[in-house]
Amino acid sequence: MIDFGFDKIALIGAVALIVIGPEKLPKLARTV
């Protein structure tokens, strides 16, 4: 298992928010 720091998780979340868009993110979060 890869050890993610909170800063990396926040960064990935921010990038996902920009790339995917805020309106699609909740749907994606439910899928995961």
- pTM exceeds cut of 0.85: no
Give the pLDDT of residue 14: 85
Contact at 8 Å (CB) between 11 and 2? Answer: no
Give the pLDDT of residue 2: 66
Contact at 8 Å (CB) between 19 and 11? Answer: no
Element (H, E) at 21: none
H helix count then E strand count, the chain: 2, 0
Give the pLDDT of residue 1: 56
Residues 1-31: tens digit of each pLDDT: 567 788 888 888 888 888 877 777 677 677 7
24: tokens are 């699609």
